Chains A and B, each alone.
Chain A
């Protein structure tokens, strides 16, 4: 029963994590490059920098970072002290993985709960950027959703073993 639930959680959360990653890599990051460059060009060529540029940059960074986080865990993109960990075997190593995953669940869980509290608050107070009059609550909601997916990935893949090794991963890890 528990196995079946975990399998479904794994399947669902992995698909969502990959989708969020695509939002980060195909949406957030290219948009960030384009916007920063455009802002420089507009400033020097047309003397007309984007007033809302920094606000949008910030939001794009938020989307890119939080969108990529759950999948980065699945690809093994994290830094740990491996001297002792690599020598742990069997149940001891299993416990180390559980402690690592629990640490993540605590932090991301708290972020999720707080985002849950902040979203209605931000919507009620109409919080927007300084120059960009776009409501911020959907972005806080996005942060909360990414935290939820990350928690699901921590439970489904506590060892953070790369699901698939991609060429060149080790060069940048």
Chain B
């Protein structure tokens, strides 16, 4: 059978398995290994499975994943960031829509050290939602702002999705982290401006919070210190070239343990739960990576990527048209797949085309992560929206999705800006 025919049939089989609900890792692995079996024989297929598992299972770069997940889990379970909201609220709460803007900034900061957008929504949602109800915020605005702000966690470093992307594309994780900083700030600013303008035009959507004295504001700054210390240690360390991302993750874990211990927030059960959660999440991601690599090997052997590149070039698509196509593709995929699934399924096919078109892989990492952000808040999956619904069960799902819509437009606007000015993402990595 022709190589490309095997490749095309394999992709069809993969889509079929995914459609009936076979876990992504297993679907990719079984299709990859079956295709390799057909093309190269049984012993080669077995060797591929063992060698990919063995090599990736010992990869120094992959050590970053369990360590960053553990850092996030430790921050989450020890409640190290519990004062974050109170501090930001004292500074921002007075402006129109101030509590919602506070939630954006607090989610960005919390997400930056936990790396999980869903945990961010659940934690910040349960803290901020009662406050917004107390000040009679419009529930559509409130839930939409919280669900959308949770996505900042995967854009502002350290971000698990960037690590995953870096591993799959073999690009520098440190550079990806740095590339996410300015776009992350831009998205947070855009979200804040959207809330502020809407509340300025319609004050009933988000009334002003209580006045706070400057003395109180200054005293509250201590609430930011733990998060600031961890962020500076990890991201500052990578930027200054002191640590590799793997080392930064290890030092970050040790830092969180030290801080939580110093603040008497460290208990045996907290640590046990964090270790358990980290091992489970990391094993899940590891399985997806191994499955993705097996599928990528099959795709490479069948020459499917070359075919795709040739087709793309023959279509004469320019950079912008190609990126627009990807926006549509990711919006469609986001309707069916989780963020890891979206990336692992597309990267083996897209990266060769990107290389051919001269699109920077670091820049594209930011683009891809922003697209996966949208998948977290758009129907029908919209994982953040489901979590938000659990935090505010009286708000209909449709209202939350409606509330998220202005922020989706905001992310697309920032994406357009990044496409027009790629240096917004590439400037910081270039200075490392």
Q: Which residues of A contact B (CB under 8 A)?
A: 21, 24-26, 28-30, 32-33, 35-37, 39-40, 44, 54, 57-59, 61-62, 64-69, 71-72, 75, 77-86, 88, 96, 99-100, 103-104, 106-107, 110-111, 113-115, 117-118, 140, 143, 160, 166-173
Whether A25 contacts B57 in the complex (CB less than 8 A), given A40-B250, A84-B20, A103-B30, comes out as: no
Q: Interface-forming stretch among B127-135, B273-281, B322-330?
A: B273-281
Q: Does B231 touch A at the CB level, under 8 Å?
A: no
Whether A62 contacts B58 in the complex (CB less than 8 A), given A79-B23, A168-B277, comes out as: yes
- Residues of A contacting B254 with CB < 8 Å? 33, 37
Per-position binary interface string of chain B over residues 280-320, scored 1 when its CB falls under 8 Å from any chain A CB and 0 otherwise: 11111011100000100000000000000000000000000
Q: For the complex, what is the distance from the CA of A26 to the CA of B275, rounded to whole Å?
A: 8
Q: For the complex, what is the distance from the CA of A144 to the CA of B253, rounded to whole Å?
A: 30
Whether A106 lies near B30 (C-beta < 8 A) is: yes
User: With contacts A66-B53, A113-B46, A114-B46 known, what are 9 further pairs, Cβ within 8 A?
Assistant: A32-B63, A32-B67, A36-B250, A61-B63, A65-B57, A68-B282, A77-B280, A103-B26, A114-B50
Whether A80 lies near B22 (C-beta < 8 A) is: yes
Whether A66 lies near B57 (C-beta < 8 A) is: yes
Q: Does B24 touch A at the CB level, under 8 Å?
A: yes
Most buried by A among B66, B281, B335: B66
Of the residues B27, B59, B77, B277, contact of A61 by C-beta under 8 Å: B59
Whether B57 lies near A30 (C-beta < 8 A) is: no
Whether A118 contacts B250 in the complex (CB less than 8 A), given A26-B275, A81-B21, A171-B116, comes out as: no
- Residues of B contacting A172 with CB < 8 Å? 69, 73, 116, 118-119, 277, 280-281
Whether A79 contacts B279 in the complex (CB less than 8 A), given A107-B49, A140-B54, A172-B119, comes out as: no
Whether B49 lies near A62 (C-beta < 8 A) is: no
Most buried by A among B21, B29, B77: B21
Q: For the complex, what is the distance from the CA of A24 to the CA of B281, rounded to whole Å?
A: 12
Whether A21 contacts B20 in the complex (CB less than 8 A), given A62-B58, A110-B33, A140-B54, comes out as: no
Smallest beta-carbon distance B286→chain A, Å: 4
Q: For the complex, what is the distance from the CA of A140 to the CA of B283, rounded to whole Å?
A: 17
Q: What are 7 pairs between A and B in contact, CB < 8 Å?
A: A21-B279, A25-B279, A36-B246, A61-B66, A68-B282, A77-B283, A167-B273
Of the residues A78, A115, A168, contact of B287 by C-beta under 8 Å: A78
Whether B57 lies near A99 (C-beta < 8 A) is: no
- Residues of B contacting A62 with CB < 8 Å? 54, 57-58
Residues B9-41 near A (CB distance < 8 A) = 17-27, 29-30, 33-34
Q: For the complex, what is the distance from the CA of A167 to the CA of B250, rounded to whole Å?
A: 26
Whether A69 lies near B20 (C-beta < 8 A) is: no
Whether A96 contacts B280 in the complex (CB less than 8 A), given A33-B254, A62-B58, A79-B288, comes out as: no
Q: Does B243 touch A at the CB level, under 8 Å?
A: yes
Whether A107 contacts B277 in the complex (CB less than 8 A), given A58-B58, A100-B22, A172-B118, comes out as: no
Whether B279 lies near A68 (C-beta < 8 A) is: yes
Residues B59-79 near A (CB distance < 8 A) = 59-60, 62-63, 66-67, 69-70, 73, 76-77
Q: Report, nearest first, the 6 A-B pairs whose CB atoms are least far apart.
A: A85-B21, A36-B250, A58-B58, A114-B50, A68-B283, A103-B30
Q: Interface-forming stretch among B203-211, B337-345, B394-402?
A: B337-345
- Residues of B contacting A33 with CB < 8 Å? 67, 70, 250, 253-254
Whether B63 lies near A57 (C-beta < 8 A) is: yes
Smallest beta-carbon distance A83→chain B, Å: 6
Smallest beta-carbon distance B345→chain A, Å: 10
Q: For the complex, what is the distance from the CA of A172 to the CA of B288, rounded to whole Å?
A: 15
Q: For the complex, what is the distance from the CA of A72 to the CA of B242, rounded to whole Å?
A: 34
Q: Which residue of A lies closest to B276 (CB)?
A: A25
Whether A36 lies near B63 (C-beta < 8 A) is: yes
Most buried by B among A26, A58, A66, A86: A58
Q: Does B138 touch A at the CB level, under 8 Å?
A: no
Whether A107 lies near B247 (C-beta < 8 A) is: no
Q: Which residue of B lies closest to A92 (CB)?
A: B20
Q: For the complex, what is the distance from the CA of A31 to the CA of B287, rounded to whole Å?
A: 21
Whether B62 lies near A61 (C-beta < 8 A) is: yes
Whether A40 lies near B247 (C-beta < 8 A) is: yes
Q: For the complex, what is the distance from the CA of A77 to the CA of B338, rounded to whole Å?
A: 13
Q: Does B187 touch A at the CB level, under 8 Å?
A: no
Q: For the complex, what is the distance from the CA of A110 to the CA of B275, rounded to whole Å?
A: 30
Whether B279 lies near A88 (C-beta < 8 A) is: no
Q: For the complex, what is the distance from the CA of A79 to the CA of B333, rounded to whole Å?
A: 14
Per-position binary interface string of chain B over residues 103-143, scored 1 when its CB falls under 8 Å from any chain A CB and 0 otherwise: 00000000000001011001000000000000000000000
Whether A78 contacts B118 in the complex (CB less than 8 A), given A21-B279, A32-B67, A64-B279, comes out as: no
